[in-house]
Structure 1
Amino acid sequence: MTDKHIAVADILLDLEAALRELNLWHSEPPSAEALASTAPFAVDTLTFTQWLQFMFLPRMHTLVTGRGTLPVNCAIAPMAEEYFRPQSLDASAVLVQLQRIDTLLS
């Protein structure tokens, strides 16, 4: 495993912890149909936090553990900022982790 894979793995753990701390971790997975979305961030079927938990995190874990090729351009933090902006929730811990991922992979 490369240093970059290890760094991504650490950030993914921190991201999961941040989602759990804000009670944004979902106990039930979305339907198979919802997960089959081809829209960016699955905006047509999932909330942003569902996309993070059920699509982004598993895919990144697979790449890290399988030592796969990591994305070379990542811009998730701006989407997260838009998602959390109208909410009365301090999501700064989640945003920090997503910015770390964006910086590391871009």
Structure 2
Amino acid sequence: MRTDVAEVLIDIEAELRRLALWDATPPPAEALASTEPFAIDTLTPPQWLQFIFLPTLYRMLEEGAPLPERCGIAPMAEEFFSGSALPTAELLDALRLVDALLSSE
């Protein structure tokens, strides 16, 4: 299961890059310190994925730490990208898959 999670994280990163949603420069530390869900008050959902979600999960995998038992990021991304002209189907599929992997028993 950990290998499956790692593979889908790589897919998420690749899709963010393909869609030109990957930032070369990290946001300020204050933006990363948000306590709001998905740092919605300081980051866009793609920034949250890049600078908080992916690094956190990669670190947990590297350290052998327990992974979250529940995940529900796809609905947030679906809402963010609704009405967007970007071809986000593959990104949304990857996010649904990571939700399913992390939320399965």
- Counterpart Cα distance in 2 of 1:21 and 1:88: 14
Selected match of 1:35 from 32, 38, 41: 32
Runs of 4+ in structure 1 deviating by more than 2 angstroms, as ranges, are none
CA RMSD, Structure 1 to Structure 2 (Å): 0.7
Equivalent pairs counted in the alignment come to 103
In the alignment, structure 1 segments of 5+ residues that lack a partner are none
In the alignment, structure 2 segments of 5+ residues that lack a partner are none
Aligned partner letter, 2:2: H
Q: Displacement, 1:6?
A: 1.1
Structure 2 counterparts to residues 1-106 of structure 1, below 5 A: 4-106=1-103
SS state of the match for residue 14, structure 1?
Answer: helix
Aligned partner letter, 2:76: M
TM-score by length of structure 2 reads 0.95
- Counterpart Cα distance in 2 of 1:86 and 1:51: 20
- Counterpart Cα distance in 2 of 1:94 and 1:34: 24
SS state of the match for residue 63, structure 1?
Answer: helix
Percent identity between the aligned chains?
Answer: 51
Aligned partner letter, 1:60: L
- Whether contact under 8 Å (1:71, 1:105) holds in the other structure is yes
Aligned partner letter, 1:102: D
- Counterpart Cα distance in 1 of 2:83 and 2:24: 24
